[in-house]
Structure 1
Amino acid sequence: MSNTCDWQIHKQKMNERGQYLLETGQWSDCRFVVGTEPHQQEFSGHKLLLAMSSPVFEAMFFGGMAEKNDAIPILDVQPDAFKALLEYIYTDNINLQSFDQACELCYVAKKYMLPYLVEECTKYLWEDLYPKNACRAYEFAKLFEEPILMEKCLRIISAETEEVLHESSFEDIELSTLVTMLELDELSVSSELELYEAVQRWAVRECTRKGLSPEEGKSLRSVLGHAIGKIRFLTLTPTQFAEGPALSRLLTQDESFAILMNISSSTPGKLPMPEGFTTSTVARKRPVHLPSRQDGVSDAESSVISSVGGDVIREGHKYYCLRNIVQEPHFLNTSILDCSVAFTVDRNICVLGVQVPTQVHAGNTDYPHQPLVDSYTELLYAHLLDSDGSRLTYTHFTSRVSYGALMEIGFNRPVYIQRNKMYRVGVVLNKGGWYPMGTCIQRMTCDAVVFTFRVGARCDSVRDGLIRSIVFTY
């Protein structure tokens, strides 16, 4: 026999056989075009192996959203990261060698719902946290909603602030990250002057990036926005302020005079400060605890504890605000179905998740007949947004579920919401089939908590009725 026919004989382990299929492309039945020009690459794959590992690939190849294209474009992923993803799927091998690679691979692992790979990437990032990359890691963790990693990054920033500020990478951080740093009460700096000088360096670099003149005060202030007001000028001495910030281009003469008058006053903070500037006279504290790179929150703790605005959320008794259905028609979902509903409550509560109805067996003979089995595999995404559309929490859900039931979808982390403020919960269903929809009563009371629901602008109250229950505690 030739080597092309008996290659299996020489592969003793499954990962060796997977490696061979990945490298040679033998029996491949799908292709991916990954990345953008000029760094675009093409990869071959095997639908069965990919679907075995990822519910997203399962839906892509065998579900209602099955891809029909010859080559599947994936433009938002770097080729090296996609290659590493395939290597994990085919061989179980995870070869992380750099911070940047771990970030890229974590992104693609989240996209294709591979939680173990996400966990391994996150662990690598935890262990590779240093002042040089703490800000970038924070931005990554914030973007992909990794609260434990975010907290670790902030602890590094707080405990080793001077090193963070003197890293060249500090000048490349986002404005929102800069504001977050300036809002921390605990920072390891000798005085507020260090923060001011770092902010000035950042503003000069940002002006250069945006093609503005870094020599003009208006340009510097335009890129800084309200961040300048977070600096605690009133903690400086008159000499420190007069010989430093007062001479820079970041402050106008009127602002410098008002601040200096407050610093020199026997009751600082009593005189009018420039609009948007803090009146705090309390110097930043150095953290008592210098965090170890290995410090963290256990998986058990992270599932029941979250910090929001200083409050500690602990999972207590669950309540279910089940929305009463006025009528319940059935709807055939042929591809991807999204639904959402806005709501307010009359007291502060902690939202844990939602309940959504599972599919029912088809009753209309005009459509393909649904097999009469007891269960199917559900695949969906759910999130909670605030009134500005900012995502507070989310979850990917895949599980074997029974027909004609209610499934409970728990968010990745519980979130406190405030009374009389508008929030929106949304669900995206990725499985084709019949779903029971319906118009719901708009006002419900559950254990003394009053929920008022409002449907979206499209006024699709029937489809929004797919969100049957808000799961909460308080």
Structure 2
Amino acid sequence: MDGDRQENPHPARGTKDNPAKNKAGMTRNMGNTHANARANQRDQHHQHSQRQQQQERQQQQQQGRGGESGAAAGEKASQSSAAKAASLTESRSTGSLPSESPQHNPSSSPQSSKRDSVTSTRSLPVVASNMSSCTLSSAPARAPKTMSSLPQVTIRADNAPGKSASKPGGNNACTGVSANAAKSANSGVASGGSVEEMVDTAESPGGVVSGRDSLLVDNLLAGLAGGDNPAVGSGKPPQNAANAAPFNWQSQKISVKERLAFLYNTDTMADVQFLIGREPNTQLVPAHKFVLSMSSAVFDALFNGGMATSESVIQIPDVEPSAFLALLKFVYTDEVQIGPETVMTTLYCAKKYDVPALERACVEFLKRNLSSDNAFMLLTQARLFDEQQLAALCLETIDKNTTEALVADGFTDIDINTLCAVLERDTLGIRECKLFTAVCRWAEAECIRRSLPATPDSQKEVLQGALRLIRFPLMTVEEFAMGAAQSGLLEDREVVELFLYFTVNPKPPISFLDVPRCCLTGKEQVVSRFCQIESRWGYSGTSDRIRFMVNRRIFVVGFGLYGSIHGPTEYTVNIQILHMDTGKVMGCNDTSFQCDGSTSTFRVMFKEPVEVLPNTNYIACSTLKGPDSYYGSKGLRKVTHESVSSGKVTFQFTYAAGNNNGTSVEDGQIPEIIFYT
């Protein structure tokens, strides 16, 4: 427009003075007007193109598919086009046209136009709008990555030494060659969009690719060469180099349990390590804080509590590596991997880190494998770990198999507290003389452990109060004279005191326990007092009673009673043994029994054996509720029972005064007494 004013400074005067000039000036003005209109049209078109490109860039940024370098290159191209349009507008407005030289005139020839179009295309980087649909058919879909997991690209320019820029790779939907090219273009590795330029830049000293992005360049080169690269040639993604886990391993595990089992004892995503055991048998075990915290309150406090540790390697010297791995195996997979060699250490580990389900599994394993050979060893461990149920089962096993348990190797390895706990029991199934021999053997082993001479004085020292728990009065005088009296473990006054107890009647007070252990030795024995069986013995709620006395100490475990004469029947019954002089109930039981209608006797047992001392009167009682039964006749006043293992036991039966339902020495109920010696 300024050019128009300069060429026609006096339009009105020109019009009046010279019509020809006015016509020529009008023609020139019209030409300039048309040129200006065309320039304005091109400017408007250029502005529209810029707005469209800006909208496309905004859309690309929202979708995460565009790169900064591609946008910069597009903007630079837009500015170049705008500059050329402005130059053309200014030239046309001033009447000076650009040079007619073919190499500078874009419209001079079709060849030059085509060549410049190609050049312009090659000079632009690969942008996200061209890559959104660029997916190799053989490449599997990748899982989305977080920012922390994306690789870092380091760029070093030739004209700016010492400077670098790190930029996380974009969220690119492309895989294979196009995806790698897009990643490199968006990260600023190459200024051009061609594959060759990107590779040249990556390999040149001016552009360095660090970290895992070197795999992208390798994959790209292998793809260009038609190689067998797993990320390009076969469509498989590269493996995770940080862990041993293959890429996309999660897709092969259909359940949470399978995925957790895959992470067990691996470095995959592990965020803590444990150094287990003592030198030289230590082992470094990787783990995951989240998995451990959701399984154990101890681990939760260790990692998330107010005094949570910040150490990446945690030392646990008091746990065996095999036990800790068994704990992790259970935490990750719910599987219990224990054996006879590891069950106790695993139980300790489960107790330490409060995993009750694993504790119960260990205890159940011990119950299933409990025997007389390992009862003492397991008893020590059960007491140490405060496993009361397991300890009770061990003690019950020792009661039933005392002799076998005492000769096992584990007995001499128990501690003094466990030994005292066993000696205090009233239910050991062994004679006291044999128990004393076993205790002496334990004392010798303890002297060796303490590096003491195995003398009587040393044995008394290590036994401490356990010696007072031996019930010497329960021995026979012969057993005491041949064993304990000559052992050197008792003081002289104690030996004299015990000999007086065995020989004098009434017996003097004694400092040792004389409470029977109710031990059942030998085979079960039965004494019968009737010679003949009769029918119809009735019951009205009154007890059948008979008095008896024996010549040596025995343990009565039950009675044999007659059953119904009317066929199979169930009786309810109460049985008792009373001390004749004091009336004290020595033992009783409320129970029932089934009879089949035969003349046989039916066993009715006490809950615990009842000790019967020699030369003392006792009363056997039974109160039955049921139909009429058989009864015995032609009873014997004195019955001697003899066995090879226990010798002779003589019973004397007499009449029990009072209400006895008619039972006497000659006839009635309670035909049998079942006992042990």
Please classify the TM superposition score into its range, dividing by the shorter chain length.
0.5 to 0.7
Structure with a larger share of its residues in helix: 2
Give the corresponding residue for 1:278.
512
Partner of 2:461: 222
State whether structure 2 residue 394 is matched by structure 1 residue 153: yes
Q: Separation in 2 of the partners of 1:83 and 1:281?
A: 49
Residue 34 of structure 1 contacts residue 82 of structure 1 at CA under 8 Å; is this kept in 2?
Answer: yes
Render the CA deviation track for 1:391-450: whole Å, top value 9, x for unaligned.
Answer: xxxxxxxxxxxxxxxxxxxxxxxxxxxxxxxxxxxxxxxxxxxxxxxxxxxxxxxxxxxx
Residue number in structure 2 paired with 1:60: 302
- Residue 259 (structure 1) aligned with residue 498 (structure 2): yes
1:430-449 alignment runs, 5 A limit: none
Instruction: Give the 5 Å matches for 1:222-261.
Output: 222-261=461-500
In the alignment, the residues of structure 2 paired with residue 252 and residue 103 of structure 1 have an alpha-carbon distance, to the nearest angstrom, of 41
Output the CA distance in 2 between the equivalents of 1:264 and 1:71: 72
Distance in 1 (CA, whole Å) between partners of 2:516 and 2:328 is 53
What is the alpha-carbon distance in structure 1 between the residues aligned to residue 390 and residue 361 of structure 2? 13
Q: CA deviation at 1:149?
A: 1.6
Alignment partner for residue 178 of structure 1, among 419, 431, 449?
Answer: 419
- Alpha-carbon deviations, 1:30-55, whole Å to 9, x = none? 11111222222221111111111112
The answer to whether the 8 Å contact 1:31/1:70 transfers is: yes
Native 8 Å contact 1:212 1:219 kept in 2: yes
Give yes or no for contact 1:229–1:278 (8 Å, CA) kept in 2.
Answer: yes
**Residue of structure 2 equivalent to 1:95:** 337
Query: What pairs up with 1:362-381 in 2 under 5 angstroms?
Result: none
In 1, the alpha carbon distance for the partners of 2:413 and 2:519 equals 26
The answer to which structure has the higher strand fraction is 1
Q: Residue 226 of structure 1: CA displacement?
A: 0.9
Alpha-carbon shift at residue 283 of structure 1 (Å): 5.0
Matched, 1:197 2:437: yes
- Report the Cα distance in structure 2 between the residues aligned to 1:119 and 1:245, rounded to whole angstroms: 43
**1:79 aligned to 2:321?**
yes
8 A Cα contact 2:425 2:517, kept in partner: no
Question: Which of residues 356, 364, 380 in structure 2 aligns to 1:139?
Answer: 380
Q: Match of 1:44, SS? A: strand
Whether contact under 8 Å (2:428, 2:517) holds in the other structure is no
SS in 2 for 1:280: coil
CA distance in 1, matches of 2:513, 2:393: 29
Partner of 1:211: 451
| Number of aligned residues | 281
Find the residue that maps to 1:206 and give its secondary structure.
helix
Secondary structure class of the residue paired with 1:53: coil
Report if the CA contact (8 A) 2:292-2:331 is conserved.
yes
Deviation of 1:157 after TM superposition, in Å, equals 1.0
CA distance in 2, matches of 1:23, 1:112: 18
C-alpha distance in 1 between matches for 2:265 and 2:353:
21
Q: CA contact under 8 A between 2:416 and 2:463: conserved in structure 1? A: yes
Task: Name the counterpart of 1:112.
Answer: 353
CA distance in 1, matches of 2:265, 2:378: 32
Q: Which residue of 2 aligns with 1:457?
A: none
Describe the superposition over 1:356-386 as per-residue Cα deviations: whole angstroms up to 9, x where unpaired. xxxxxxxxxxxxxxxxxxxxxxxxxxxxxxx
CA 1:245–1:19: 2 relative to 1, 3 Å: same
Q: What amino acid is aligned across from residue 9 of structure 1 in structure 2?
A: S
In structure 1, give the amino acid aligned to 2:448.
Answer: T
Q: Which runs of 5+ in 1 are unaligned?
A: 290-474
Deviation at 1:202, TM superposition (A): 0.2
What's the offset of the Cα at 1:73?
1.5
**TM-score normalised by length of structure 1:** 0.56
Following superposition, the deviation at residue 281 of structure 1 comes to 5.4
What is the Cα deviation at residue 5 of structure 1? 1.1
Q: Is the 8 A contact 1:217 1:251 kept in 2?
A: no
Specify the alignment match of 2:284 in structure 1.
42
Post-superposition shift, 1:86? 0.7
Superposed CA RMSD in Å reads 2.0
Amino acid at match of 1:57: F
> What are the ranges of 5 or more consecutive residues in structure 2 without an aligned counterpart?
1-236, 240-245, 522-556, 559-677
* Cα distance in 2, alignment partners of residues 56 and 34 from structure 1: 17
Question: Given the superposition, is the C-alpha separation of residues 14 and 204 from structure 1 closer, same or farther in structure 2, using an over 3 Å criterion?
Answer: same
8 Å contact 2:329–2:337 — kept in the other structure? no
One-letter identity of the residue aligned with 1:147: Q
Given that 1:14 and 1:91 are in contact with CA atoms closer than 8 Å, whether structure 2 keeps it comes out as no
Q: Secondary structure at the match of 2:339?
A: coil
* Structure 1 Cα separation of the partners of residues 517 and 384 of structure 2: 30
Partner in structure 2 of residue 14 of structure 1: 256
Question: How far apart are 1:260 and its partner, in Å?
Answer: 1.9
Structure 2-normalised TM-score?
0.40
Q: CA deviation at 1:126?
A: 1.5
Q: Alpha carbons of 1:121 and 1:279: their partners in 2 closer, same or farther (altered >3 Å)?
A: closer
1:300-320 deviation per Cα after TM superposition (whole angstroms, max 9, x unaligned): xxxxxxxxxxxxxxxxxxxxx
Name the CA distance, whole Å, in 2 between partners of 1:242 and 1:16.
Answer: 70
Q: 2:404 — aligned with what?
A: 163
The one-letter code of the counterpart of 2:491 is T
Q: Is this contact kept in 2: 1:207–1:213, CA < 8 A? A: yes
**Structure 2 CA distance, aligned partners of 1:127 and 1:40?**
31
Q: Deviations over 1:444-467 (max 9, x none)?
A: xxxxxxxxxxxxxxxxxxxxxxxx
Q: How far off is 1:253 after superposition?
A: 3.2
SS for the counterpart of 2:314 is strand
1:198 deviation in Å? 0.2
